[in-house]
């Protein structure tokens, strides 16, 4: 487990329950600042990790098991345990369709009549959508037949798994390796496929993957 992955899992768990990190801390009986960004690194830049006590408290407060949290850390969230989280219907299309015109607006939000509805775990993002994976370009992380939930509202940082749309219309799932004011570098999930670099202006939008039906 990497430091950033653990904290990102906490952020995702909060969002899935409609909470901010501060709200999750408060719900868990912790100091509201416990999960603030400023608490994640010491002044000299060293990593600060959440304590096992704080993790136990957020598990209890959200009804999350350690296996489900570990899946969040790795980016391959299993279906939630019965009774832990409501399920709802969100729009779904195939990854191959996503690059076609008419499925997203300029901001990357799902639009149009070509989407199916599928029952998947609800998130804290009313604009979340699902993509069905096809082909092998995302193996071994995501395989054909998997469904991923993508959240336009979730913050995106280096190291996150993302779905990005490029100016030529291509929609792809990658790992955000680096982003500057002028450049975006995306790492392929399948090592047999090349990593990609784009001018920032050529990346129309980029949303974080918050769940996978593996």
- More reliable by pLDDT, 62 or 121: 62
* 140 close to 178: Cβ distance less than 8 angstroms: no
Global pTM reads 0.60
**Domain ranges, ordered by start, for the chain:** 3-74, 91-212
- Exposure b/e, 39-54, CB count within 10 A at least 16 = b: ebeeeeeeeeebeeeb
Please return the burial class of 79, using the count of CB atoms within 10 Å of its CB with bins 0-12, 13-18 and 19+. Answer: middle
Q: What residues are paired with 104 via a beta bridge? A: 110
* 185 close to 203: Cβ distance less than 8 angstroms: no
Model confidence at 85: pLDDT above 70: no
What CATH code would you report for 91-212? Answer: 2.10.109.10
pLDDT at 27: 94
Helix or strand run (H / E) with residue 22: helix 21-27
Name the residue among 156, 17, 104 with its Cα closest to residue 26: 17
30 confidence band (pLDDT: 50, 70, 90): very high
3-74 is a CATH 3.30.1890 domain: no
For 140, phi then psi, to 5°, come to -90, 5
Per-residue pLDDT tens digits for 96-133: 888 888 888 877 888 877 888 887 776 667 788 999 99
Per-residue pLDDT tens digits for 147-189: 899 988 788 888 889 999 999 988 999 999 999 989 999 999 8
């Amino acid at each position: 487990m990497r430091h950033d992955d653990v904290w990102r899992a906490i952020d995702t768990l909060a969002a899935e329950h409609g909470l901010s990190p501060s709200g999750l801390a408060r719900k868990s009986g912790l100091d509201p600042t416990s999960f603030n960004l400023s608490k994640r690194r010491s002044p000299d830049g060293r990593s600060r990790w959440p304590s096992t006590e704080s993790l136990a408290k957020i598990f209890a407060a959200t009804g999350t098991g350690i296996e489900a949290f570990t899946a969040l850390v790795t980016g391959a969230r299993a279906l939630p345990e019965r009774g832990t989280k409501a399920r709802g219907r969100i729009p779904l299309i195939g990854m191959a369709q996503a690059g076609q015109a008419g499925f997203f607006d300029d901001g990357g939000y799902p639009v149009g009549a070509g989407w199916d509805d599928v029952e998947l775990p609800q998130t804290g993002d009313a604009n979340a959508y699902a993509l069905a994976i096809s082909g092998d370009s995302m193996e071994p992380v995501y395989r054909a037949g998997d469904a991923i939930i993508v959240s336009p509202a979730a913050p995106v940082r280096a190291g996150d798994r993302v779905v990005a749309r490029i100016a030529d219309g291509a929609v792809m799932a990658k790992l955000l390796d680096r982003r500057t004011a002028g450049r975006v570098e995306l790492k392929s999930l399948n090592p047999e496929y090349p990593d990609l670099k784009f001018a920032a202006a050529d990346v129309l939008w980029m949303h974080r993957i918050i769940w996978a039906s593996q």
